[in-house]
Structure 1
């Protein structure tokens, strides 16, 4: 699969995260840092998710939950729900299915930041842990510049 690399301005834009577990908590953290308006649809929230910083819909996913979203993250451990999210999404909505990169519109990259620039690192969805390792090494180099 060939991917097109971009950086997206999601400041003050609606983003919906389906699921409230550990994977969702990591996505939500970076979405909030980017200034997104995050709605979480999940019957539970991981301890790392600050319920005061998101709009939490305390129930399982239902068709219609994606209506206003610009970006969608399907972060459940249930393949059928993640696939339903993909099917329910409007063609103008980009969906990240965290359980299946082949059934996603996009996946996240690691980013090493410096004062004036950012370097994106991707293993093409094969190893997020390896991306994180490379990011840490690059951050050390960038700090020296």
Structure 2
């Protein structure tokens, strides 16, 4: 695997699930694209994003064919049968992140720290990955780096 930065503005992104993990993924995605969210139940945050036109919401269980046009797919449900169905339906040319089983993913989201080093034109992005095995550790490293960057900025 190699790290990539992907411009999502014209990518078809689908998130299967409407709980806490799906919400966390969608919040990050909605700043770059208008993801499609498919779930029978959703969080209040996802409901608000849908009402504001930030996401396309399909309020029902996943059905075969729902990911046909997706280029990037996040599987974020607690229903193992649904997760397996989505994974089985995915084609080899689609990027799939199964948040319940990292070994069934062909890409991982990374924690990130974005900061200006000297000026706005010196923007740096640091990405952190545990290859989907330990998101808590990634988040901890992200927080430490962010704190250090803020401290460094304050000193400059």
Can you give the 5+ residue segments of structure 1 that lack an aligned partner in the other structure?
A: none
CA-based RMSD: 1.3
Alpha-carbon distance between aligned partners in 1 of 2:131 and 2:66, rounded to the nearest angstrom:
29
Cα separation, 2, equivalents of 1:56 and 1:132: 28
User: Secondary structure of 2:141's match?
Assistant: helix
Q: In the alignment, what sits opposite 1:136?
A: 143
Asked if residue 43 in structure 1 is aligned to residue 40 in structure 2, the reply is: yes
Counterparts of 1:66 and 1:124 in 2: how far apart (Å)? 24
Of the two, which has the highest radius of gyration? 2
Which stretch shows the higher mean deviation, 22-31 or 10-19? 10-19
The answer for the alignment partner of 1:10 in structure 2 is 8
Cross-structure match for 1:26? 24
Return structure 1 stretches of 4+ with deviation > 4 angstroms.
none
Structure 2 unaligned blocks of 5 or more: 117-122
More helix by share: 2
- Map of 1:125 onto structure 2: 132
Match of 2:107 in 1: 106
- Distance in 1 of aligned mates of 2:36 and 2:131: 27
Aligned positions, number: 142
